[in-house]
Chain A
């Protein structure tokens, strides 16, 4: 099975900060990575797919990059609505999620 390892597990940041979350795959997965945002009591929301494609309706401060085994999600200027947990996910062979990164104040 393909494992996805995210870092950090928790990230303390302030409004306006540039935030980067990293995800590493246990084997090469080309660009078949998605990123999700989840708030307490809510379903995950797709932000990025195919490593760098912004889902419709998602603010442009979110961006994704990477290929092979290393991927990043960047929030260029953190907004109050962005405090949440973020998950990476591979979809080259079924689906596997990272363990999540909680972005907190």
Chain B
């Protein structure tokens, strides 16, 4: 059974950095395309970024609001996905989910999310 468990969310000051983790089980992370999706309090869903599977090149892409500030990486030995967030702004306050992208496109399994709050 696929399981995704996010962690690392915290209260951080504007301009700060934070690294989120997504521990995967039930499948091999490097063989999967993975995404990060966020949801600001009381708002809708917003795609943040993705990393392709190793066989598809392992490249990353990001949404315009976070491009240049966020990076995605994997630790294959820990079967864990990371989202490194720099230069955080109040608009980045949200619940961050990791999700598997079946066939590289369909977001079929989601974690429970981890909360990031950016505030002075």
A55 within 8 A of B: yes
25 contacts between A and B (CB under 8 A): A1-B64, A34-B106, A36-B107, A43-B97, A43-B110, A43-B111, A44-B97, A44-B107, A44-B110, A45-B110, A46-B106, A46-B108, A49-B106, A49-B108, A50-B106, A89-B45, A89-B107, A91-B106, A94-B61, A95-B37, A95-B47, A97-B44, A97-B45, A99-B44, A100-B45
Q: By the criterion of a CB under 8 Å from any partner CB, how many residues of chain B are at the interface?
A: 19
The CA of A97 and the CA of B37, in the complex, are separated in Å by 10
Q: Which of chain B's residues 88-120 have a Cβ closer than 8 Å to chain A? A: 97, 105-108, 110-113
A20 within 8 A of B: no
What 0/1 pattern do residues 67 to 105 of A give for CB contact below 8 A with B?
Answer: 000000000000000000001010100111111100000
Q: Determine if A87 and B108 form an interchain contact, defined as CB atoms under 8 angstroms apart.
A: no
Binding site for A on B (CB under 8 A): 35, 37, 44-47, 50, 61, 63-64, 97, 105-108, 110-113
Report B-chain residues with C-beta under 8 Å of the C-beta of A1. 64
Q: Within the complex, what minimum Cβ distance (angstroms) separates A97 from chain B? A: 4
Neighbour of B107 across the interface among A32, A95, A99, A100, CB < 8 A = A95
Q: Within the complex, what minimum Cβ distance (angstroms) separates A57 from chain B? A: 11
Binding site for B on A (CB under 8 A): 1, 32, 34, 36, 38, 42-46, 49-50, 55, 87, 89, 91, 94-100
Report A-chain residues with C-beta under 8 Å of the C-beta of B37. 44, 95
Report A-chain residues with C-beta under 8 Å of the C-beta of B64. 1
The CA of A34 and the CA of B112, in the complex, are separated in Å by 19
Report A-chain residues with C-beta under 8 Å of the C-beta of B113. 43
